[in-house]
Amino acid sequence: MKKALILGGGIAGLTVANSLALRGIDFLLIEKSTRVGGAIRTFSRDGFIAEGGPQTFIAEEKKVFDFLRATGILEKTIEARPAAKKRFIVRGGKPRVVPMSPATAVTTPLFSLLGKIRLLAEPFIPAKRDGNAESVANFVRRRIGKEMYNYALNPLVAGIFAGNPETLDVRFAFPKVWNLEQRYGSLIRGTFPNAKAKKASGNYEKKRTLSFPQGMETLPKLLRAKLDPRKVRIHSEITNLTREGSGWRAHWRSRAAVCTFFEEDAFFDEIIVATPPHTWGEIPFSDPALRAHFSRVPALATPPVTMLTLGFPRANVSHPLDGFGMLVPEKENRKILGTLFTSSLFPGRAPEGFVTLSTYLGGSRQSEITHLSAEEQLKIVREELRELLGATGEPAFIERVENPQAIPQYNLGYEDFFKKLSEIESAFPLRFAGNFRGGISVGQTMLSALETAEKTALAAHS
Ligand SMILES: Cc1cc2nc3c(=O)[nH]c(=O)nc-3n(C[C@H](O)[C@H](O)[C@H](O)COP(=O)(O)OP(=O)(O)OC[C@H]3O[C@@H](n4cnc5c(N)ncnc54)[C@H](O)[C@@H]3O)c2cc1C
C-alpha cells in the first residue's frame, strides 16, 4: 500500500485527500493552522452570513461534479438565484447592466457606438499565433478594442484575479479565451464551434454557480468530515523531510495543548505540496538538490484583498440589487474593486428586511487601501456604496476580512514558474496542487487537485 503526505488543508489539499481516500490510497494531511479551508472562510453573526474569501464556486467540469457526487456534497449545495445572472459594471458613476443578448448589446449605454463597431470587427483582426507571452490587456485591446478593454475586461480581471491586466499573461490567466484565437483565429468566430466541441467532449455538465445554506466554508468542513480523523492533522507542521529510498521520511509535530507538542514520523512514497508558493521556503526539505530546485522557482505576486461585508436595512438601499454585483473599471477612478449583492445571490445571507453587500478592496490596483485602518476602509466603502447604490445610514452588520496574500498572479514570466514545477515533479516523488496552477477559482483548483490525485493513484498502482 502506497502512502502520500499532503501538505496544506485548503480546498486543494482536501480535494486530493478525498480523491485518494475514494481510491483506497493511504495519506496523511498536515495543516498548519487550526482549521481547514484556507482562503474559504465564512463568518455568521446575528442572522448575517459573510464570506472572507470566495462567495460562490462554479462547477462545470464533469470530474468536479463526479467528485461532488461521490462525496455526497453536491446534494448539500444551493444554486445562485437566477437573477444573479444579471451583472453590473460601473460607468460614469452608475452601475450599468452588462448586456447578455445581442439585442441588449446594441442598446446598452455601457459601450459607445464606436466601441460596439470595433467589437464587431473582431473576426477580421488577424490572429497572433507566435506562441509568445502577451498581457491580457494587450490581447483584449488588440482583438476587441480599447473601450471593451476599459469597460469589460479591466473590471472583470479585478473581479477574478484582483490583478493587473497589463501584467497577467493571457495564455495562463485566460487559456480558454486565448485558445479561441489559436484554434479559430477569432473569439467571435470561435464561440459557437468551441461550445459545440465542449459539449461533444463529454467533459462538461451544465455550469452551476454554487454555495451552501451556511456559506462556502461548509465545503471544506464537509470534505474534512469525510476523512478518517486520524489522517488529518491540523495545527501541525513538518519539522523535517528527508529522502529515504524511493520516498520520504517525514517528521512533524502537532500541538496537543497550549505549549505542548507531540512529535511523530513516518515513511511516505510521495509528497503533495498544496500550500501557497509564498510558504514553500518554510518546508524543511533536507535534500540540497531539491532545495536548489525550489530556490529557482520564481516568486508569484499575491496582492492583498480585504473583503468588507456590510448589512443594511433593505429600505436604506435604493438600488434594486437585482443581480450578482457590480465591478468597477480602473478608468472610473474609484476606491473599490467591486461589490457583490450577496444577499441577492443566495437565501439566508441576511435577516428578513436586511441586505448584505460584500466589497473588495485592494488587489494590484489599490493595494495601499488594504493598509488603511479599519475605520478608514469602512468610511471609503460606505461613501462608495452611498454614491453607487444609494446605501445610507449606519450598517447593521460589519465583517471585515483581510487576505494579505490573496490570489497568485499568473503574470508575464509565469511560464518559468510553471516549467520549474514540472521539473521538480519529474525529478522527485513530489507533486503540486493548488490555485497557483490551472486556474485560481475554487472549481479550477478542485479540478487540478483531482488531476494531481489521479497521477498519484496511477503511480501508486504502477
Ligand atoms: C478574497 C478572495 C476572494 C475569492 N473569491 C473567489 C470566488 O468568488 N470564487 C472562486 O471560485 N474563487 C475565489 N477565490 C479563490 C479561491 O478561494 C482560492 O484560489 C482557493 O480557495 C485556494 O485554495 P488552495 O487550497 O490552493 O489554497 P489555500 O486556500 O491558500 O490553502 C492552503 C492551505 O495551506 C496551509 N498551509 C500554509 N503553509 C503550510 C505549511 N507549511 N504546512 C501545512 N499547511 C500549510 C494554509 O493554512 C491553508 O489552509 C477567492 C480568493 C480570495 C482570497
Q: What is the mean pLDDT of the chain?
A: 96
For the CA of 30, the nearest atom of ligand 1: 43
Cα 426 from Cα 248, distance rounded (Å): 16
* One domain, residues 311 and 398: yes
For the CA of 37, the nearest atom of ligand 1: 49
The share of the chain scoring above pLDDT 70, in percent, equals: 99
- Residue 309 inside a domain? The answer is yes
* One domain, residues 288 and 307: no
Cα 189 from Cα 121, distance rounded (Å): 11
Categorize the per-residue pLDDT at 51 as very low, low, confident or very high, splitting at 50, 70 and 90.
very high
The answer to whether residues 408 and 436 touch, using CB atoms and an 8 Å cutoff, is yes
The cell numbers describing 172, all together, are 495562463
pLDDT digit string, tens, across residues 291-313 = 999 999 999 999 999 999 999 99
Å from CA of 15 to ligand 1 middle:
12
CATH of the domain at 329: 3.90.660.20
For the CA of 406, the nearest atom of ligand 1: 53
Go through the chain and tell me how many residues it has.
Answer: 462
Q: What is the DSSP string of 38-71?
A: TT--EEEETTEEEESS-S-EEEEEHHHHHHHHHT
The answer to whether residues 61 and 443 touch, using CB atoms and an 8 Å cutoff, is yes
Cα 452 from Cα 13, distance rounded (Å): 10
pTM above 0.85, yes or no: yes
* One domain, residues 155 and 15: no
Which of the residue ranges 45-59, 95-109, 338-352, 389-403 would you say has the lowest mean pLDDT?
A: 95-109
* One domain, residues 283 and 417: yes
β-sheet bridge partners, residue 29: 6, 232
* One domain, residues 137 and 266: no
Q: What's the rounded mean pLDDT across residues 149-175?
A: 95
- Residue 53 has, within 13 A of its CA and on its CB side, a CA count of 23
Three-state secondary structure readout of 375-430: HHHHHHHHHHHHHHHCECCCCCEEEEEEECCCCCCCECCHHHHHHHHHHHHHHCCE
* One domain, residues 243 and 175: no
The answer to whether residues 232 and 224 touch, using CB atoms and an 8 Å cutoff, is yes
- Residue 59 inside a domain? The answer is no
- Residue 115 inside a domain? The answer is yes
* One domain, residues 387 and 438: no
Q: 140, 165, 200: which is the final residue of a domain?
A: 200
* One domain, residues 314 and 383: yes
- Residue 101 inside a domain? The answer is no
The answer to whether residues 60 and 207 touch, using CB atoms and an 8 Å cutoff, is yes
pLDDT digit string, tens, across residues 9-37 = 999 999 999 999 999 999 999 999 999 99
- Burial of 346 per CB tally in 10 Å (0-12, 13-18, 19+): buried
Selection from 232, 250, 269, 249 nearest residue 3 by Cα: 269
Domain that holds residue 328: 303-403
Selection from 76, 95, 408 nearest residue 226 by Cα: 76
The answer to whether residues 238 and 250 touch, using CB atoms and an 8 Å cutoff, is yes
Å from CA of 121 to ligand 1 middle:
40
256, pLDDT greater than 60: yes
Å from CA of 178 to ligand 1 middle:
25
Cα 458 from Cα 462, distance rounded (Å): 6
- Residue 455 inside a domain? The answer is yes
pLDDT digit string, tens, across residues 343-365 = 999 999 999 999 999 999 999 99
| Helices and strands of the chain, counted as H and E runs | 16, 20
DSSP 150: I
Cα 450 from Cα 17, distance rounded (Å): 9
- Residue 367 inside a domain? The answer is yes
Say whether 309 sits in a helix, a strand or coil: strand
CATH of the domain at 268: 3.50.50.60
- Residue 386 has, within 13 A of its CA and on its CB side, a CA count of 10
- Residue 73 inside a domain? The answer is no
* One domain, residues 261 and 341: no
Categorize the per-residue pLDDT at 100 as very low, low, confident or very high, splitting at 50, 70 and 90.
confident
Q: Ligand 1: does its nearest atom lie under 6 Å from the Cβ of 447?
A: no
* One domain, residues 277 and 418: yes
The cell numbers describing 7, all together, are 501538505
pLDDT digit string, tens, across residues 418-429 = 999 999 999 999
Q: Which helix (H) or strand (E) holds 19?
A: helix 11-22
Q: 360, 379, 403: which is the final residue of a domain?
A: 403
Å from CA of 40 to ligand 1 middle:
6
Q: What's the rounded mean pLDDT across residues 250-265?
A: 87
* One domain, residues 246 and 259: yes
373, pLDDT greater than 60: yes
- Residue 416 has, within 13 A of its CA and on its CB side, a CA count of 11
The confidence score (pLDDT) of residue 1 equals 57
- Residue 344 inside a domain? The answer is yes
* One domain, residues 317 and 289: no
pLDDT digit string, tens, across residues 267-291 = 999 999 999 999 999 999 999 999 9
Q: 173, 200, 227: which is the final residue of a domain?
A: 200
Selection from 347, 346, 350 nearest residue 309 by Cα: 350
The answer to whether residues 96 and 327 touch, using CB atoms and an 8 Å cutoff, is no
258, pLDDT greater than 80: no
Question: Ligand 1, residues 5, 14, 33: which to mutate, most atoms within 8 A of Cβ?
Answer: 33
* Beta pairing, strands 305-313 & 270-273: unpaired
The cell numbers describing 435, all together, are 490555485
CATH of the domain at 153: 1.10.3110.10
Give the count of domains, the chain.
3
Cα 56 from Cα 208, distance rounded (Å): 10
Q: Where are the alpha helices (DSSP H) in 262-365?
A: 288-295, 342-345
Question: Ligand 1, residues 407, 437, 448: which to mutate, most atoms within 8 A of Cβ?
Answer: 407
Q: Ligand 1: does its nearest atom lie under 6 Å from the Cβ of 9?
A: yes
The confidence score (pLDDT) of residue 462 equals 75
